[in-house]
Amino acid sequence: MQTHTKFLPVKEQISRLKDGVAPVEIIDMEGLTQKLEQSRSENRPLRVKQGFDASAPDLHIGHSVSIWKLKTFQELGHKVVFLIGDFTGMVGDPSGKSKTRPRLTREEVEVNAQTYRDQVYKILDPEMTEVRFNSEWHGQRNIYEFLELTSHYTIRRMLERDDFWKRFQAEKPISIMEFLYPLIQAYDSVALKADIELGGTDQKFNLVLTRHIQRAYGQDPQVLLLMPLLCGTGGKEKMSKSLGNAIGITDSPDDIYGKIMSIPDDMIREYYLMCSGIENREIDNILSQNDPYQAKHKLANTIVSKYYDENKARCAAQQFLSLFKNKDLPSPAELIEDNAAVRIDNEVEWLPRIIVTAGGAKSNAEANRLIKAGAVSIDCVKVQAEGKNLDIRIEAPFILKVGKRRFYLIYRNEEQLKQLC
Instruction: Give domain status of residue 240, yes or no.
Output: no
Instruction: Give domain status of residue 5, yes or no.
Output: no
Find out whether 302 and 282 touch, Cβ atoms under 8 Å: no
Q: Which residue has the higher pLDDT, 326 or 296?
A: 296
Q: How confident is the model at residue 325 (pLDDT cuts 50, 70, 90)?
A: low
Residues of the chain with pLDDT > 90: what percent? 46
Range of lowest pLDDT (35-39, 75-79, 190-194, 384-388): 384-388
The stretch 333-361 carries a mean pLDDT of 90
- Helix 176-192 to helix 204-216 angle, to the nearest 10 degrees? 60
The reported pLDDT for the residue numbered 78 is 97
Instruction: Give domain status of residue 296, yes or no.
Output: yes
The 10s digit of each residue's pLDDT in 243-266 is 778 898 988 898 899 999 989 888
Question: Are 300 and 351 found together in one domain?
Answer: no
Which residue(s) pair with 409 in the sheet? 341, 399
The reported pLDDT for the residue numbered 92 is 58
Residue 234 has pLDDT above 90, yes or no: no
Final residue in a domain of this structure, among 284, 312, 328: 328
Residue 48 has pLDDT above 90, yes or no: yes
Check which CATH number belongs to the domain holding 398 and give it. Answer: 3.10.290.10
Q: How confident is the model at residue 171 (pLDDT cuts 50, 70, 90)?
A: confident
Q: How far apart are CA 359 and CA 235, in angstroms?
A: 26
Question: Are 161 and 39 found together in one domain?
Answer: yes
Backbone angles phi, psi at 141, to 5 degrees: -80, 140
The reported pLDDT for the residue numbered 388 is 60
Question: Are 165 and 85 found together in one domain?
Answer: yes
Question: Per the structure, how many domains does the chain have?
Answer: 3
Find out whether 274 and 228 touch, Cβ atoms under 8 Å: yes
Q: How confident is the model at residue 190 (pLDDT cuts 50, 70, 90)?
A: very high
The stretch 273-293 carries a mean pLDDT of 90
Question: Are 224 and 340 found together in one domain?
Answer: no
Question: Are 354 and 412 found together in one domain?
Answer: yes
- Helix 292-307 to helix 280-287 angle, to the nearest 10 degrees? 140
Q: What is the pTM of this model?
A: 0.71
Residue 164 has pLDDT above 50, yes or no: yes
Q: What angle do CA 190, 194, 200 make, to 5 degrees?
A: 105
Backbone angles phi, psi at 132, to 5 degrees: -130, 160
Q: How far apart are CA 125 and CA 401, in angstroms?
A: 41
Check which CATH number belongs to the domain holding 92 and give it. Answer: 3.40.50.620
Contacts of 405 (CB under 8 A, 6+ apart): none
Find out whether 408 and 342 touch, Cβ atoms under 8 Å: yes
Contacts of 26 (CB under 8 A, 6+ apart): 32, 223, 224, 225, 226
Q: How confident is the model at residue 394 (pLDDT cuts 50, 70, 90)?
A: confident
Find out whether 372 and 302 touch, Cβ atoms under 8 Å: no
Contacts of 412 (CB under 8 A, 6+ apart): 343, 344, 345, 346, 347, 394, 397
Residue 390 has pLDDT above 80, yes or no: yes
- Segments forming the whole domain that contains residue 354: 329-421
Residue 296 has pLDDT above 60, yes or no: yes
Check which CATH number belongs to the domain holding 272 and give it. Answer: 1.10.240.10
